[in-house]
Amino acid sequence: MLTTTFAALADPTRLAIVTRLSRGEATMGELATPHAISPPAITKHVHVLVDAGLVTRRKVGRTVVCAIRPEALSEVEVWLGDLTTYWNRTVDRLADLLEGNGDGE
């Protein structure tokens, strides 16, 4: 669901995690470092991202390696694309009206 994706990205810590992971894989510890936040909090945040389908996790020894799942963001791209199409159409129609040739539809 698109709202789940947006909700996952609506938290600064999680947005930073996703941005960090877009530059390459990282362990939970590496994700936690820049955030002055407790391990349980990072676990929770990553869990939200996994549930939203934005991130994958795999165990490697005693660490957990996280990676981004770009496919989940393509849903956002599609939605944005649709919206752009619609409002461009609106702008075109408005431009037509302003030019006086009111046959926009």
Partner DNA sequence: TCAACACTTCACCAGATGGTGAAGTGTTCG
Partner DNA sequence: CGAACACTTCACCATCTGGTGAAGTGTTGA
37, 64, 72, 73: residue in contact with its own copies (rule CB under 8 A): 73
Neighbours of 97 (CB within 10 A): 12
Query: Which among 43, 71, 41, 55 is positioned nearest to 8, based on CA atoms?
Result: 55
AA identity, residue 97: L
Nearer to its own copies, 12 or 61 (CB): 12
Tell me if 72 contacts its own copies by CB under 8 A.
Answer: no
* Residues constituting the chain: 105
Tell me if 48 contacts DNA by CB under 7 A.
Answer: yes
34, 58, 80, 95: residue in contact with its own copies (rule CB under 8 A): 80
What whole-number distance in Å separates Cα of residue 20 and Cα of residue 75? 20
Alpha-carbon separation of residue 7 from 1, 57, 62 (angstroms) = 10, 20, 30
Residues in contact with DNA by CB under 7 A are 7, 10-11, 13-14, 27-29, 32, 37-48, 57, 61-64
Residues in contact with its own copies by CB under 8 A are 2-3, 6-7, 9-12, 15, 18-19, 22-24, 68, 70, 73, 76-77, 80, 82-84, 86-87, 90
